[in-house]
Amino acid sequence: MRSSRLALGVLASISLAAVTVPAAAQTHLEVQGGRSYMDSHGTDAFFVEAVFDPRAMGQSRFTWSPDVSLGYISGRHVGEYRDAHPGVTNNVWVGAAGARFHYGSAGDWYQPFFFSFQLAGTAGGRTQALSSAYQFVSTLGWQYKNVSFQIRHISNGSFKEPNRGETMALVGIGFDI
């Protein structure tokens, strides 16, 4: 059953990317890795993210770009959650789609800073941090050409308890295709 959920998550992410790709003239593909924390308990996290060409928001200096990602957060072995339900040992896959927002023109010193918001689905099991099939992903970061630094938070917005959430620091290496 877990493998079928994983397959559905991967299929959904690929489908979202496929729908968005034809409309995109430029795509930035990035591989990201780092540490994710639930409370003070860390684990490894990895993501592949595609950010498509920016679009102007009316006459403002804001732009937005379609953004899809597929991520993996390793389980943990924490004694205090040994008998908890859900526990913390499951590895979780996250498929997400949303938008990345920038402010300013190319060349402005602050233009590489961004905020993104995505809606996500999970597969592979539930944990104290990610206890539902749906999640919200918020990311604050800086991207300059082929490197990025990001702080990302994933949570279900307290729609289902427990809702400890995952907060991670990620470093990304990317390229334009």
Q: Classify residue 103 as left (phi > 0), alpha (psi -120 to 50) or beta.
A: beta
pLDDT for residue 147: 97
Count of structural domains within the chain: 1
Cis peptide before 22 (omega within 30 of 0): no
pTM of the model: 0.84
Q: Count CB atoms within 10 A of the CB of residue 1.
A: 5
What count of residues does the chain have? Answer: 177
Domain containing residue 72: 2-176
Residue 177 CA from chain centroid, whole number: 20
Res 12: pLDDT: 58
Q: How far is CA 139 from CA 28, 107, 170, in A?
A: 16, 22, 10
Instruction: CATH number of the domain at 119, please.
Output: 2.40.160.20
Residue 140: per-residue pLDDT: 98
Q: What is the structure's pLDDT at 14?
A: 53
Radius of gyration over every alpha carbon of the chain, rounded to an integer in angstroms: 17
Smallest CA-to-CA distance from 171 within 135, 153, 146, 154 is with: 146
pLDDT at 125: 87
DSSP the chain: -HHHHHHHHHHHHHHHHHHHGGG-S-EEEEEEEEEEEETTEEEEEEEEEEEE--EE-TTSSEEEEEEEEEEEE-----GGGTT-SS-S---EEEEEEEEEEEES-TT-TTTTEEEEEEEEEEES---SSS-SSEEEEEEEEEEETTEEEEEEEEE-TTSSS----EEEEEEEEEEE-
- What tens-digit pLDDT sequence spans the chain (177 residues)? 454 555 555 555 555 555 555 554 689 999 999 999 999 999 999 999 999 999 999 999 999 999 999 999 999 989 888 888 899 999 999 999 999 999 999 899 999 999 999 999 999 889 999 999 999 999 999 999 899 999 999 999 999 999 999 999 999 999 999
